[in-house]
Structure 1
Amino acid sequence: MKPAIVWTVGGSDSSSGAGVQADILTIDAFSVHACSVIVALTAQSTLGVEAIEPVSQSMISNQMRALASDLPATAVKLGMLYGRQQIETVASALKNVQAKIVLDPVLAATSGDSLSQSDCARYLMSELLPLADLITPNLEESGRLLAAVSKSTSDSLSDVSANDNQVNIDLMIESMGQRFLECGAKAVLIKGGHRQSEFSQDFYTDGNVTFWLTSPRQYLGEIHGSGCAIASAIAAGLAEGLALPDAIVRAKTYLNQCIRDSKALGSGALLLGKEKFDPREEDIPKLTSNAEEGRIKNELDLTRGPLRSQEQSTEATSDAASGGGRFGKTIGAYPIVDRAFWIKRLALCGIKTIQIRIKDLAGEELLAELKQAVSAARECSVDLYINDFWREALLLGASGVHLGQGDLESADRSTIRAS
């Protein structure tokens, strides 16, 4: 298996609030190795950008070539790119890179200072969007990027801010997401941090999966580098092998943690607190199918019932899922995993009930993996259900067993109940 390595391609921020420095801190928070490709030097502080000096195309190519030969990426995070020539240079190099690509289209700093030439949006859309697995624009960037490839200028931040009807704003953002897909995006996360609302709401779509993430807005002041942080955190998750939606939810949780821990180190914007990923319950965003639902009841809601398969469970599992039986509680979200290492990761996110379902191991390897899972579950105070292997579940003292309809016929249900 390839080691988890993220290349961050972008500008150097002398304040370390954003840019490559901030990306490295974020990626390291997940114990993933970060490599850097510097495309520009910026004289920057918490007050703004004072100067920009782009790096030559040949030097950008040399950096990417050096990394490719020794530290190949499993994920790439693209940030600030100064103009057409840099974009074309990076795009050419990435065509030979086998990695997940997250495109964070940085067009301006938090202060509003421009970080790119006027033609940048157009070439980001034509050259890099087709290569990216995800693009992560904020509302203003979404309007500028779409305007660069369309005559329509209706989707802009000024329109969004001026419109008091939140549902209409939701529809506008969802329309933007669809237009990105029509332009060739594989998936888009439109960040709503600049939206005028008491909530921070982000919209994701890949054409098949669509959802909104909602968190209470933290009114701490202007914050530098939030876009870099979430994109880098997503890239770290992809490098570790997480599915894209999972990487996004974890990254949003991490961003909320960073905002909560932000610091006023200079005279301008706050700097995010980029410590190791160690979230609290309130950091976890609410995931809903539409934005309005997130606003109506914005709280951690893991009590809607488990994410269950179509298989039937034993009576004990069914009772637990419905909040009855000998457990007497609602178990909430019910993830299914295939390896023991997921137990502690999910426990950090507040998950209390997990099913382990292993289909590719047998004999001693299977028993060893199940032992690790039960041990981790006990350490984290997690209820662990073992799929299919009811004898091993009884032997190891798991919380329960999950059996499909076919397995119920051969299982010793009286023994299971007696346990």
Structure 2
Amino acid sequence: MQKIPNVLTIAGSDSGGGAGIQADLKTMTMMRTFGMSVITALTAQNGLGVTGIHAPEPEFVALQLNTVLEGFPVNAAKTGMMFNSGIINAVADILDAQTFPLVVDPVCVSTSGHKLMEDEGIATLRERLMPRADLFTPNRPEAELFSGMTIKTEDDIIEAGERLLKSGARAVLMKGGHCEGNPVFVTDWLLEKGCEPVALRQPHVDTQNSHGTGCTLSAGIAAQIALGMPLRVAVTRAQEFLNLALRHSFAPGKGHGPCNHMAALMQR
């Protein structure tokens, strides 16, 4: 039997099933990897929004992570919603001793506008997790928050990405889904230290069912890295997976639906 890589997600749970841990595990499975999880928060949410958040004690988050690491080799990991400084520090203390590739998705606000990270957590994430990130994957509002600048133009995107590289991330994927402009393509910019920025384009998909796109993309990148793909290839394959999932997105209930993680399987 072909070896199946292990991929770890450290993120929050979405009771609606479209984002967070649930989106990550669906993506990892569809990419033929074995997904494992450390849950950093429980959210009560659906397609209409987030109605509540419960965060476990940092010690229990650390216990989950240590237990996974004791029982499984990890080929790659990603972080998503981290919620507060205590949880970020607990996770970072453990990850500092690990060598597997890490994708950091700085989840701060939900699609519906609900805050998913306490204010002091932003500085802690910048200090503790960004220097550990092999890839940092902010959308435009998150990139503005962590770079300290307003992003309006392509030059702004590049400058903000370079600022994030200087903050310690080994590479940055500036996601273009929140940027207005081209109605035909969505452009993500990949910046790596010592390399020219690379524009990675995918066809624009006009849909309201886009819940969980950031989670899906970062999980897909982590899965592709675990499969042995170079970073640019991993990003491109994850983009293609997400684009197909958006083209076949649907609303299983009220409000905004998720991208369709089963799209590739349904095509086959």
TM-score range, shorter chain: over 0.9
Cα RMSD (Å): 1.8
1:185 partner letter: A
Indicate how the Cα distance of structure 1 residues 247 and 145 shifts in structure 2: closer, same or farther if over 3 A, else same.
same
Kindly report structure 1 stretches of 4+ aligned residues shifted beyond 4 Å: 276-280
What is the one-letter code of the residue matched to 1:246? V
**Partner residue in 2 for 1:21:** 22
Q: Tell me the residue number matched to 1:250.
A: 237
| Equivalent residue in structure 2 for 1:179, among 163, 167, 175 | 163
Q: CA shift at 1:207, angstroms?
A: 2.4
Contact 1:82 1:120 survives alignment (8 Å): yes
Q: How far apart, CA to CA, are the structure 1 residues paired with 2:264 and 2:127?
A: 35
Cα deviation 1:181-235 (Å, max 9, x = unaligned): 1111100001010111213110001023321111221112251010000000000
The structure 2 residue matched to 1:233, chosen from 213, 220, 228, is 220
Report the Cα distance in structure 2 between the residues aligned to 1:105 and 1:135, rounded to whole angstroms.
Answer: 8
Does the residue aligned with 1:271 lie in a helix, a strand or coil? coil
Whole-angstrom distance in 2 between the partners of 1:8 and 1:52: 19
Q: Which amino acid aligns with 2:188?
A: D
Distance 1:50 1:277 in 2: 32
Identify which of structures 1 and 2 has the higher relative contact order when contacts are C-alpha pairs closer than 8 Å and 6+ apart.
2
Deviation at 1:270, TM superposition (A): 2.0
- Gapped runs of 5+ residues in structure 2? none
- 1:73–1:97: 8 Å Cα contact kept in structure 2? no
Pair 196,279 (structure 1): closer, same or farther in 2 beyond 3 Å = farther
Note the C-alpha offset of 1:251: 0.4
How far apart, in 1, do the equivalents of 2:123 and 2:44 lie?
26
1:54-65 equivalence runs, <5 A: 54-65=55-66
Select the residue among 196, 200, 208 that pairs with 2:180. 196
Q: Secondary structure at the match of 1:223?
A: coil
Unaligned runs of 5+ in 1: 148-153, 161-168, 281-347, 349-419
Aligned to 1:268: 255
User: What does 1:271-310 align with in structure 2 at a 5 Å threshold?
Assistant: 271-275=258-262, 277=264
1:2 deviates by: 7.8
Task: Please say which structure displays the higher CA radius of gyration.
Answer: 1
Going from structure 1 to structure 2, the CA distance change for 1:2 and 1:97 (only over 3 Å counts) comes to: farther
Contact 1:9/1:38 (8 A) holds in 2: yes
**Offset, 1:98:** 2.5
- Count of residues in correspondence between the two structures: 264
Q: Percent identity?
A: 34
What TM-score do you get using the length of structure 2 for normalisation? 0.94
What's the counterpart of residue 205 of structure 1? Answer: 191
Q: Is the 8 A contact 1:12 1:20 kept in 2?
A: yes
Per the normalisation by structure 1, the TM-score is 0.61
- Aligned residue identity for 1:66: T
AA aligned to 1:170 is E
1:7 and 1:73 in contact (8 A); partners too? yes
